[in-house]
A and B are shown apart, each in its own frame.
Chain A
Amino acid sequence: MTALRIGKGVQILLLAALYVFLYGPIIYITYVSFQANSVWPFPPEFTAKHYISLWNEENYHSGFVNSLAIGIGTGVIASVLATMAAVAILKYRVRRSVYIAGLFLMPLFIAHILIGVSSLMFNKMLLGLPGNIFSAILANATYATAFAFLVVVAQLARYDWRLDEAAMVFGATPGTTFREVTFPLIWPAILGAFIVSFLLAFNNLEISFYNLGATPTLPTLAWGSLRHGVSEELYALAALINVAVFIFLGVMYVLLRTGVVRLDYKD
């Protein structure tokens, strides 16, 4: 009994340690982003100058717009393709659909740098396309589809497909059934998939970098800036992006809580 209690205590300690490990740097960089002296910001001396210099860098404005475009484009493609596949696999239970699931999960097992350089080479050499925002969206959408697929499958695993059958019995076409029955119930899962793939693509460096040519995004600008030594406006950028991610995940939390099924679908 005591061994069990010690075990549980160790687990709680490790969970706490994980959060300190994960959030220590995030909290610290947010603190530094408001400090005049970024090397040793003690005692604190608050300032907004890093935020002002971030705002004054014109590059970051176009970078933000481009990142947004990549995020939205990728999010739409990934969530639509993933939802279609997840619904098909879970609803129709066709034999061998496990291979299709494997195909949709495959991008998770491929390093981003390989997705980046291979799509660069493919577009340039075989299709003669220069790098641009569209090729970046298409390349990002490959692995984002895998993440979106995971989110939707996890959410829909306990969706009751008999609802759809009932609608079909009353003469609804598959299209109408989806619009009137399935979609109103599963939209939180789809939006969750969109949020995850949007954030991944918005913040992606390795894939976007190789496909963009000279088009700047927030991560490629941050990369350039970090390469030339520490730039203090990056602290402000990191703080802002972290806040944005948290807002999005807060939305997702509400969605998952109110969604058809929860991630912990155990009875």
Chain B
Amino acid sequence: MSSNKRLFWWLVAPGAIFLILFLILPLASIVVFSFWRTESYTLIPDWNLDNYIRILTDWTYIKFLLRSLSMATIVSLICLVFSWPIAFFIARYGGKFKLIYLLLTSAPFLTGEILRVTALQQILGPIGVINMALSTFGFEPIQALMYTNTATAIGLTYLWIPFMVLAIYLSLLNFDFELLEVAKVNGARPLRAFWEITWPLNRAGSAIGVVLVFIPTLASSITSKFLGGPNGALYGNILANQFGSTGTWALGSAMGVVLFAISLIVLYIVWKMVGDLKRSGVTIKGGAEL
């Protein structure tokens, strides 16, 4: 082994070992627990498939899973559609303000989910400012904003749209905007130039963005708990319950494994749709490919 290679491994080993120990092993452990059963708050190594059978045949679990899946699909698509023009603008016309635009886009994300949801409750809820203003000025309040799935969808878009903008922006970093000028000279209208040049060359950013929004939305529990109201529970809420009051950890583990499996499937589908990642511009200039 050359000395460079040895140094490489010495440098990456601590982080790699850390991630294996504290991320991958725990995830593997819930796969094991998902085949056990829980009895009065204790896990019993009694191998069975009951947890999975329950999740995949009991309509209650399927219903919440379907609700979360459609929520995640809708929220990712909304984020995708709105983020594209924004990321495009920052990348193309941002000039020396690019960094400011990006930091302004990401700053709210760092405040944490719970305080952002608190702020949203003040806007959307029954006594939120929108409906208070409407009723103060003699209009009908908007029912859709008060503890509904719509409110949850708005909340989730609010939480995760920064990821989508960043992902698309990063894929546009290496995009040669001159190509659009060439297209224009040759008579292509802007929308056609977008569909035939910009989009195909930067699909990878969209794909990564969709996955980064889809996965946390699919698993979300806090937003729906505080914005979704009594009928707004999502799969994540039911999953969280297994580790809270009911204490059915084995079932909760199986729900977690199902969630993880769906995330992997989505990752795979999106990756397949994008095809060759390298051609689509996700490279760090200088050669290191990510």
Contacts and interface: CB of A to CB of B under 8 A. Distances in A.
Interface of A: 3-4, 7-8, 10-12, 14-15, 18-19, 21-26, 28-29, 32, 38-40, 77, 81-82, 84-85, 87-90, 92-94, 97-98, 100-101, 103-115, 117-123, 125-126, 138-139, 141-142, 145, 153-154, 157-158, 174, 196, 199-200, 202-206, 210, 219, 222-223, 226, 230, 234-235, 237-238, 241-242, 245-246, 248-249, 252-253, 256-257, 262-266
A28 B129 contact: yes
Interface of B: 4-5, 7-9, 11-12, 14-16, 18-19, 22-23, 25-27, 29-30, 33, 43, 82, 85-86, 88-90, 93-94, 98-108, 110-123, 127, 129, 132, 136, 158, 161-162, 165, 170, 173-174, 184, 189-191, 211-212, 215-216, 218-219, 221-222, 226, 236, 239-240, 243, 249, 252-253, 256, 259-260, 263, 267, 284-290
A94 B3 CA distance: 11
Contacts of B236: 111, 113
Contacts of B256: 113-114, 117-118
B7 A111 contact: no
Contact of B85 (A10, A21, A114, A206): A10
B104 A19 contact: yes
A110 B111 contact: no
A28 B30 contact: no
A157 to B, nearest CB: 4
A142 B33 contact: no
B113 A205 contact: yes
Given A82-B15, A253-B99, A241 B112 contact: yes
Interface hub of A104, A119, A205, A206 (most chain B Cβ within 10 A): A206
**What is the interface of chain B mostly: helix, strand, loop, or mixed?**
helix
A121 B158 CA distance: 31
Contacts of B158: 21-22, 25
A85 B112 contact: no
A222 B114 contact: yes
A234 B23 contact: no
Given A121-B253, A238-B115, A266-B285, A81 B15 contact: yes
A237 to B, nearest CB: 7
Contact of A257 (B4, B14, B82, B99): B99
Given A22-B104, A77-B18, A107-B23, 20 more contacts: A12-B89, A21-B161, A22-B108, A22-B161, A28-B119, A29-B119, A85-B12, A111-B219, A113-B259, A114-B219, A117-B243, A117-B253, A117-B256, A118-B27, A118-B256, A226-B121, A245-B111, A246-B107, A249-B107, A266-B285
